């Protein structure tokens, strides 16, 4: 059995795009393992991650273990009109909110899209995901943070609820994915002990 250091013993550091590019294969392997996706997913996701790195406000925080290997990764960027995720969520909100444009506009302006948050399977359940999310959110100057996550009782769900994320859109199917997703959001900053909402 491999012992994984406590998150405080792992180093959380900000990565630039130049830092992440040479480690993209390692980061994508971590993503595939954390999500339990087929290995060929790496080839499909690599161009998308490279494109994300060029978006306005892209920020990334990684966790390095004692061997300098990636134990976790989180990144996102400023959401904007014309981005695939933004347009998908806006379409879903418009369809579900019965013309409550104020609700749609409130959530779809000035937000940071938390695009990826993954912890290597052998390092999960030790608070590393929360540490990554908090560090990344502390570097953002948007009013809100939004994310999407598959529906269901998971560690990710527990984390987001504990940190005060609320429902924005539930049981939504993104184009090309048959699974139901939830879009969750909250205002920033994230307090030390947020109240679940």
Contacts of 57 (CB under 8 A, 6+ apart): 77, 78, 112, 140, 142
75 as an active site residue: the answer is: no
DSSP labels, the chain: ------GGGSEEEEE-HHHHGGGHHHHHHHHHHHHT--TTHHHHHHHHHHHHTTSTT-EEEEEE-TTS-EEEEEEEEE--TTSHHHHHHHHHHHHHTTT-HHHHHHHTSSEEEEEEEEE-GGGTTSSHHHHHHHHHHHT--SSEEEEEEESSS-HHHHHHHHTT-EEEEEEE--TT--S-EEEEEEESSPPSSPPP-
Active-site position among 31, 75, 160, 172: 160
Catalytic positions are 160
């Amino acid at each position: 059995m491999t012992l994984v250091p406590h998150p405080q013993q792992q180093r959380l550091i900000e990565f630039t795009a130049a830092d992440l590019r040479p480690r993209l294969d390692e980061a994508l392997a971590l993503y595939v393992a954390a999500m339990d996706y087929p290995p060929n997913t790496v080839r499909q996701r690599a161009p998308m991650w490279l494109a994300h790195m060029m978006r306005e406000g892209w920020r990334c925080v990684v966790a390095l273990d004692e061997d300098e290997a990636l134990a976790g990764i989180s990144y996102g960027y400023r959401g904007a009109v014309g981005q695939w995720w933004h347009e998908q969520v806006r379409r879903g909100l418009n369809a579900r909110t019965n013309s409550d444009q104020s609700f749609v506009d409130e959530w779809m302006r000035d937000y940071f899209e938390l695009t990826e948050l993954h912890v290597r399977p052998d390092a999960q359940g030790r608070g590393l995901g929360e540490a990554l999310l908090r560090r990344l959110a502390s570097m953002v100057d948007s009013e809100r943070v939004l994310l999407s996550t598959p529906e269901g009782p998971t560690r990710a769900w527990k984390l987001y609820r504990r940190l005060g994320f609320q429902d924005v859109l539930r049981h939504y199917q993104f184009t090309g994915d048959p699974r139901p997703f939830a879009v969750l959001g909250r205002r920033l900053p994230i307090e030390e002990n947020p109240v679940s909402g």
